[in-house]
Amino acid sequence: MAHWLVKSEPTAWSWDRQVAAGTTPWDGVRNPQATNNMKAMAEGDRAFFYHSNEGKEIVGIAKVVKEHYPDPTAEEGDWSVVDLAPVKPLKKSVTLDALKADAVLKDIPLVKQSRLSVSPLTEPQFKRVLALGEAR
DNA sequence: GCCAACGTTGGC
DNA sequence: GCCAACGTTGGC
């Protein structure tokens, strides 16, 4: 199983709204690299949910419930979405500062390439975030 | 609010 | 096809 990290500005789409809405398409992605990452997602994969700009922290865990299909919000171009559903919040959110301060996590794509909205994590990185967030 | 990093666009 | 100009994102 692969592991991922998705991010959103909470003013645009927050974890709380994801929880309230349940399963939703992760739409509006207009970046080839992020799109390729979504196309590599498999049903059941887990993805951390990160709040950019406000909060700057990983707040919860979501899962892929439907693999990639064409983005219905795209009027042109070959863009994709996956359906995500909330799994559970982290007991303690993991801040960007904490990621940067951690030897395992300081080089993750989110830190290195902050604009990439969908990025992969290795299994050790994923487990490290879980440990910091006190979730299993 | 500013600015650096990155992606995209458009002129050549 | 290159590269400068511009727009957007996101950390600070």
pLDDT digits (tens, 9 = 90+) for A20-67: 999 999 999 999 999 999 999 999 999 999 999 999 999 999 999 999
Which of the 8 DSSP states describes residue A134?
T
Indicate the pLDDT class of residue A136, thresholds 50, 70 and 90.
Answer: low
Between A75 and A92, residue with greater pLDDT:
A92
Rounded average pLDDT over A90-116: 95
Nearest nucleotide to A7 (CA to C1') is: C10
Phi-psi region of A31 (alpha: psi -120 to 50; beta: other; left: phi over 0): beta
Q: Which position has the token pair 């879980």?
A: A130
Using the C1' atom of nucleotide C12, identify the protein residue whose alpha carbon is closest.
A53
A135: pLDDT strictly greater than 80: no
